[in-house]
């Protein structure tokens, strides 16, 4: 994982910023989806202001190290029953660090490296999820897990991979009912 801090309205904002290595850093609303509530703070002052504003709204946030070398791209590995059934690389639109398709990003099929596949499978297994989407960043340290989605959408992954993943999920459910 990138260096990450969870905040429940923490008062010591500077310690959180320091823990993840300072700016630039990413601040995410815990309840956000599809890239909403995700902010790239370019300076420590900007990070402090955003975190304090979210704290004032009693919004729980995640403060995370910014992985510059990912260049606005991430990988989604879609896992069903302990197997990667599809993977895509999502790229943010020009000038955007978020790779969400709902924010104008694009997606293409990708073949995972062994290291990426193992990281995704380990993340799914450790959470006990039979179906999930594992989001990763490619970094100089290897794949970094951003998040594991227990109810990932199908539209983007099926369009990118040209696979009928919904049928794979239905067969998994039928076997496990």
- Per-residue pLDDT tens over the stretch 132-170: 999 999 999 999 999 899 999 898 899 999 999 999 999
Residues in CB range of 134: below 8 A, 6 or more apart:
76, 77, 79, 119, 120, 123, 124, 145, 147, 148, 149
Q: Which residues face 27 on adjacent strands?
A: 39, 63
Question: Per-residue pLDDT averaged across 2-27, rounded?
Answer: 89
In three-state secondary structure terms, 21 is: coil
DSSP classification of residue 154: S
pLDDT in tens, 83-94: 999 999 988 767
How confident is residue 34, by pLDDT bands cut at 50, 70 and 90?
A: low
Contact 75, 143 (CB under 8 A): yes
How confident is residue 106, by pLDDT bands cut at 50, 70 and 90?
A: confident
pLDDT reading at 97 higher than 70: no
DSSP 36-74: TTEEEE-SHHHHHHHHHHHHHTT--EEEEE--GGGTTEE
> What's the predicted TM-score (pTM) here?
0.85
Domains and CATH numbers, the chain: 4-66 (3.30.1490.20), 69-176 (3.30.470.20)
Alpha-carbon gap, residue 11 to 78, rounded angstroms = 37
Alpha-carbon gap, residue 88 to 59, rounded angstroms = 31
Residue 83, sorted as left (phi over 0), alpha (psi -120 to 50) or beta, turns out to be beta
HEC letters along 92-105: CCCCCCCCCHHHCC
Bond prior to 114 in cis (omega within 30° of 0): no
Percent of the chain with pLDDT over 90: 64
Q: What is the pLDDT of residue 152?
A: 92
């Amino acid at each position: 994982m990138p260096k990450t801090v969870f905040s429940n309205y923490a008062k010591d904002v500077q310690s959180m910023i320091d823990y993840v290595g300072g700016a630039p850093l990413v601040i995410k609303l815990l309840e956000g989806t599809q890239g909403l509530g995700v902010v790239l703070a370019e300076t420590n002052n900007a990070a402090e202001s955003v975190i304090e504003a979210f704290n004032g709204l009693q919004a729980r946030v995640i403060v995370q190290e910014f992985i510059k070398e990912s260049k606005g791209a991430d990988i989604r590995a879609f896992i069903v029953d302990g197997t990667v059934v599809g993977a895509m690389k999502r790229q943010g639109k020009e000038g955007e660090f978020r790779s969400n398709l709902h924010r104008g990003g694009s997606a293409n099929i990708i073949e995972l490296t062994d290291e990426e596949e193992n990281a995704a499978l380990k993340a799914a297994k450790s959470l006990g999820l039979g179906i999930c989407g594992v989001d990763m960043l490619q970094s100089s340290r290897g794949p970094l897990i951003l998040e594991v989605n227990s109810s990932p959408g199908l539209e983007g992954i099926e369009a990118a991979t040209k696979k009928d993943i919904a049928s794979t999920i239905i067969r998994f459910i039928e076997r496990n009912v």
